[in-house]
Amino acid sequence: MKKSIKIAIGFLNLIFIDSNAQGLSLGFNVNQTAGCSPLTIQFTNTSMNASSYYWDFGNGTFSTLTNPSTIYTTPGTYSIKLIAMSANGHIDSTIATNWITVFPNSISDFHTTNTISCITGNSFSFINTSLNSVNCFWEFGDGSTTTIQNPTHSYVSPGNYTIKLTSYNSFDCVDTKIIDDYIHVVEKPVAAFTVNDTSASERKQVFNFNSTTSNVNSWFWKFGNGDISIVENPKYIYNDIGTYTVSLIVRNENGCTDTLIKPNYISINVSLLLKGEILNNKVLLNWTKYDGWDEEVDYYTVEKLNEKGEWEIVKTVDGKQLVYEPE
């Protein structure tokens, strides 16, 4: 049977007329013929004198609805086939070849070299690993944005920050990736400490140092004479006369540190090495039993601080008492 088929092509519209099918005509239009994956196409059936339909969308899916829709997820071109049947059993079909075009979408993805940093000197390097992308737009969660492909960003306040990357390809297809609370900026600890006394009141006095820093798990003390300690609250005895600078470095679980230095914090004076009293403008030094000293000794050496800040020997005696008259 010879058919006469008239094709009228308008914008997104095809009409197929079968003159030998007793008025059965096929036609349909779509909401769009091209777009980015995933692309949803809505079909509007304009056929006449048909009672049932069978659609083949070219993507492996089918429908018997009058006005169906389908989703194209794979980039490419697709042909649409429509088969219609009239009430008296006449059948006709039509194919719209390569009528739907699906563009490949961009796929946003990224990572960073580190996700946790202390507030002091923090810097995060973001690596854009998006596919099918020619342009991008970053949002760092603190109101800052950039279109740089692989940006570096620093934060001014502690907190957790959500990162958003939107990528675009040459077809203007858009994809967005969001990672909530991806970046963690941690406040640094504040080093602080006290001591029970800052000067010696007796020979071999014990100094009780106390760290008052909270939320830390590491301590590093320097007592000013080369000795150190990693105990939270150390006890320490100075064996030599002098003035000592004490420092404490603390670290929290995220590796953030802080340092407190107290210059000339501890003082050990020569006058405290002996029990003495001033009598008639003379210094009476009495070597009776003194806590922390050896009880049985043969002699004692007396030193004084000169103008250069150096200690020099004044006199060595072997008795139990010395009267020293300052010059």
The owner of tokens 């089918």 is 62
What is the C-alpha to C-alpha distance for residues 16 and 206, in angstroms, rounded to an integer?
104
**Are 128 and 174 in the same domain?**
yes
Percent of the chain with pLDDT over 90: 68
CATH no. for residue 80? 2.60.40.10
3-state helix, strand, coil in the chain (%, to 5): 0, 55, 45
pLDDT for position 204: 75
pLDDT at 68 exceeding the cut of 60: yes
Mean pLDDT value across residues 64-71: 97
pLDDT for res 110: 98
Same domain (yes/no): 70, 133: no
Same structural domain for residues 258 and 168? no
Look up tokens 């519209």; give the residue: 13
DSSP-assigned letters across all residues of 233-270: S-EEE--S-EEEEEEEEEE-TTS-EEEEEEEEEEEE-G
Euclidean distance between CA atoms 83 and 96, whole angstroms? 12
Q: Would you say residue 199 has pLDDT above 50?
A: yes
For the residues 305-319, what does the mean pLDDT come to? 57
Domain count, the chain: 4
Return mean pLDDT, the chain: 82
Residue-wise pLDDT for 155-173, tens only, equals 999 999 999 999 999 998 9
| Residue 151 shares a structural domain with residue 115 | yes
Which are the contacts of 293, defined by CB distance < 8 A and separation ≥ 6?
A: 203
- Name the residue with tokens 């003194």: 290
Domain final position from 103, 125, 153:
103
Same-domain pairing of 318 and 250: no
Residue 316, pLDDT score:
52
Question: Is pLDDT larger for residue 286 or for residue 83?
Answer: 83
> pLDDT for 173-185, tens place per residue?
999 999 999 999 9
Question: Which residue, 167, 189, 191, is CA-closest to 178?
Answer: 167
Residues 173 and 204 in one domain: no
Q: pLDDT band at 269, cuts 50/70/90?
A: confident
Q: Same structural domain for residues 12 and 71?
A: yes
Q: Looking at the structure, do residues 11 and 78 belong to the same domain, yes or no?
A: yes
Do 120 and 154 lie in one domain? The reply is yes
Last residue within a domain, chosen from 58, 87, 103: 103
Does one domain contain both 139 and 207? no
Q: 89 has which bridge partners?
A: none
- For 68, the token pair is 């169906």
Residue 11: the pLDDT is: 34
Residue 118 shares a structural domain with residue 64? no
Q: What's the pLDDT at 289?
A: 38
**114 & 172 share domain:** yes
Give the pLDDT score at 24.
85
Question: In this predicted structure, which of 3-7, 69-73, 141-145, 248-252 has the lowest mean pLDDT?
Answer: 3-7
pLDDT of 8 above 60: no
Over residues 18-59, the pLDDT tens digits come to 434 457 899 999 999 999 999 999 999 999 999 999 999 999
Residues with Cβ < 8 Å from 306, sequence gap 6 or more?
312
Task: Provide the residue range defining the domain that includes 310.
Answer: 274-324
In this prediction, residue 313 has a pLDDT band, given cuts at 50, 70 and 90, of low
Asked whether the beta carbons of 290 and 275 are under 8 A apart, the reply is yes
pLDDT value, residue 274: 44
Domain termination site, one of 58, 84, 103:
103
Beta strands in 37-75 (DSSP E): 39-45, 52-56, 62-63, 69-72
Q: What whole-number distance in Å separates Cα of residue 249 and Cα of residue 257?
A: 7
For residue 2, what pLDDT is reported? 29
Question: What are 196's two structure tokens?
Answer: 């029970």
Could you tell me the two tokens for 191? 């080093």
**Calpha distance 233→194 (Å, rounded):** 10
Instruction: Locate 75 and state its tokens.
Output: 């980039």
